[in-house]
Amino acid sequence: MDLKLTKETVPVAEMICDTVQEQPVELDYILPDYCPDIFRLIRCEAVPVITESTVSGERLTYELRCDIHILYCGEDGSAVQSVEQQRTFTRTADLGKSVERPDVRITAKTDHISFRAVNKRRLDMRGAVSIKINVSGEQAQEVVSDAAGMNIQLRKMPVNYAAQRLSAVKNVRVEEDIELTAAQPDIISVINCRCSAEKCEIKLISGKLLAKGEADVELLYAGESGGEMYVEPMRFSMSYSQIIDVEGLDDSFDCSVAPEAVSCDVGVISGSDNRVLRCEAELRLSCRAVKTATVMIAEDAFSTVYPCSVEMSEIKAEQIPVVYDESIRHIVRLAEGENVPLKIYAMWSEPKNINAHIGDDGCSVAISGMLVYSMAAKESTGGIAMPDREEAFEEVIALPDNISGAEVAAEVSVRETSYDISAEGVLTAKADMAVRLSVYSSDSIRAVTNIAIDDSSRKERDGDYAIKLYFGSENEMVWDIAKRYSTSVSAIMEENDLTGDRLENGGMLLIPIVS
């Protein structure tokens, strides 16, 4: 009987590009006539955002926008002045090969920034942004799923893989008018604004995806009441509900939507007596949908009678991660005694350089990184300062499952930052963080892609016997024993009344020889 192979075609994840690019960011700015002279610089921020990306052939093209925000005080030391500028860059990356249905992930962060006043009317800023680019695709890989004839033995395993992937991106605009309370001072100018969008709720309706969530906005504004200047914090949320059209989507897909804030503009509505703010935010909703299938794949083969050669290939089937949502808290002493500011208007924090690895016990994940604490405070001189303080943190998160041998990725965001000044004059800050852990099972699988039998000769045995005595070791695989003695797994298990594919305690075995 000839050897008959059954093969399956599996889409295999293929890494196309994994690189980091750097983009210099420079600003040489002369103040317009209506702005007061520069007396003291307070703060400079450069926030990078990837606004769009396309893949054409072997080239990735993307747009990088860098929002620059510089704060300063005029010579009269009154209201905080704000300078806002944008720099836009078009960059390309060579992928090395064309790819169908590319999965593009691009993130940007500010590496360093420095700024100075060249004179009373001129600002100079120099910095750099790093852009991490990850592009993957898929290719078809044939693997052996079954075989018959020529006394062939197969060791098979079920493999879950992404049989189909869908993606869609939708940009939405959210706006809201916010009226000040009676206790809040009139608005002179908006000093600082931060917008974030965490995970959203999703629901499949008639082949379309409904995404509902909130954009959280935190801002500082310069205010005036009774002739006295204030710096006032505000925090509010704007709701959104959007239908995302994903062609081919049905309830057999697992879906996720990642919201991201692209821009946020806040200004005073004219004619409102400086009492109403209008906030306009643009969000990008990135949808990914994966249909999972299961296939039996041969991971080893041999013939009990004939010599054979087995071709193997390392395949990487895209895995669906198991997601854990956890919370951690970081507490740090920032200042004490004379170093504590006279007044703190607001405090916030941002995580960066996040790393995650699985603990030695296989049931925990260690999260480490840096937290940048920032505050808007009143100095002893009466001026406003906005210093930063970096603090390292590391936390171990216990999980309910054993994830040994898996890979883990972590996304960390700050839900809330608070502070306290004790009776002893110690300033302590507390950051409550949300951690999303994505745990991927081992995505590297050794699969049989072809088997060749040499039927011109038969295997030689070390003796003429029907049963051989063998002493197995603890946890030894029955398959390995069967392959060593050119017999079948089923014959060994039946002869020795075994129920599992491993020898739990080792011991003596009877090895029947089959042909």
Neighbours of 85 (CB within 10 A): 14
Give the model's pLDDT for residue 26.
Answer: 96
Give the model's pLDDT for residue 500.
Answer: 86
How far is it, in rounded angstroms, from Cα 334 to Cα 321?
A: 38
Give the model's pLDDT for residue 159.
Answer: 83
Give the model's pLDDT for residue 322.
Answer: 85
Give the model's pLDDT for residue 504.
Answer: 83
Give the model's pLDDT for residue 1.
Answer: 64
Give the model's pLDDT for residue 317.
Answer: 63
| Contact in structure between 223 and 184 (CB atoms under 8 Å) | yes
Residue 218 above 60 pLDDT? yes
Are 368 and 427 found together in one domain? yes
Can you give the C-alpha Rg of the chain in angstroms?
31
Mean pLDDT confidence for 312-339: 86
Name the percent of the chain lying above pLDDT 70. 97
Q: Which of 374, 364, 338 is nearest to 194 (CA)?
A: 374
Any idea what the Cα angle at residue 41 is, between residues 40 and 47, rounded to 5°? 165
Are 343 and 436 found together in one domain? yes
For the ranges 100-114, 139-153, 234-248, 453-467, the lowest mean pLDDT is seen at: 453-467
DSSP 265-330: EEEEPTTSTT-EEEEEEEEEEEEEEEEEEEEEEEEEEEESSS-EEEEEEEE-PPPPPEEEEEEEEE
* Domain assignment present for 278: no
Q: Which two tokens stand for residue 61?
A: 């093209």
pLDDT tens digits, residue range 85-136? Answer: 999 999 999 999 988 778 899 999 999 999 999 999 999 999 999 999 999 8
From 392, 410, 442, the end of a domain falls on: 442
From 442, 477, 504, the end of a domain falls on: 442
Give the model's pLDDT for residue 163.
Answer: 82
Are 430 and 333 found together in one domain? yes
Domain of residue 468, CATH code: 3.10.350.10
Give the model's pLDDT for residue 30.
Answer: 96
Residue 286 above 80 pLDDT? yes
Mean pLDDT confidence for 324-346: 93
Q: Tell me the pLDDT of the chain averaged across its residues.
A: 90
Mean pLDDT confidence for 344-350: 92
From 416, 442, 468, the end of a domain falls on: 442
Contacts of 143 (CB under 8 A, 6+ apart): 7, 8, 10, 295, 297, 298, 313, 315, 447, 448, 449
Q: Which two tokens stand for residue 481?
A: 């024993």
Q: How confident is the model at residue 183 (pLDDT cuts 50, 70, 90)?
A: confident
* Domain assignment present for 180: no
Mean pLDDT confidence for 441-457: 84
**What are the CA-CA distances from residue 398 to residues 327, 366, 393, 394, 402 (Å)?**
11, 9, 17, 13, 10
| Contact in structure between 515 and 151 (CB atoms under 8 Å) | yes
Are 362 and 436 found together in one domain? yes
Are 466 and 427 found together in one domain? no
Name the percent of the chain lying above pLDDT 90. 61
Q: Provide the strand spans (E) within 31-151.
A: 40-56, 59-73, 80-94, 103-119, 122-148
* Domain assignment present for 337: yes
| Contact in structure between 377 and 343 (CB atoms under 8 Å) | yes
Residue 443 above 70 pLDDT? no
Are 330 and 437 found together in one domain? yes
* Domain assignment present for 472: yes
* Domain assignment present for 6: no
Are 335 and 410 found together in one domain? yes
For the ranges 60-69, 133-142, 235-244, 422-431, the lowest mean pLDDT is seen at: 133-142
Give the model's pLDDT for residue 515.
Answer: 66
pLDDT tens digits, residue range 262-281? Answer: 999 999 998 888 899 999 99
User: Which helix (H) or strand (E) covers residue 230, if one does?
Assistant: strand 228-245
How far is it, in rounded angstroms, from Cα 70 to Cα 31?
A: 12
Give the model's pLDDT for residue 260.
Answer: 92
Are 337 and 438 found together in one domain? yes
Are 341 and 434 found together in one domain? yes
Are 378 and 424 found together in one domain? yes
Are 326 and 384 found together in one domain? yes
* Domain assignment present for 360: yes
Mean pLDDT confidence for 459-482: 86
Range of the domain at 479: 460-515
| Contact in structure between 322 and 439 (CB atoms under 8 Å) | yes
* Domain assignment present for 361: yes
Residue whose pair of structure tokens reads 């594919």 in the numeric block? 501
Mean pLDDT confidence for 369-379: 92
Give the model's pLDDT for residue 126.
Answer: 97
Higher pLDDT, 174 or 225: 174
Give the model's pLDDT for residue 320.
Answer: 66
Neighbours of 339 (CB within 10 A): 9
Q: Which two tokens stand for residue 154?
A: 């197969």
Are 341 and 428 found together in one domain? yes
Give the model's pLDDT for residue 78.
Answer: 61
* Domain assignment present for 251: no
Give the model's pLDDT for residue 146.
Answer: 95
Higher pLDDT, 140 or 369: 369
Mean pLDDT confidence for 159-163: 80
When divided into structural domains, the chain yields a total of: 2
Any idea what the Cα angle at residue 154 is, between residues 150 and 474, rounded to 5°? 130
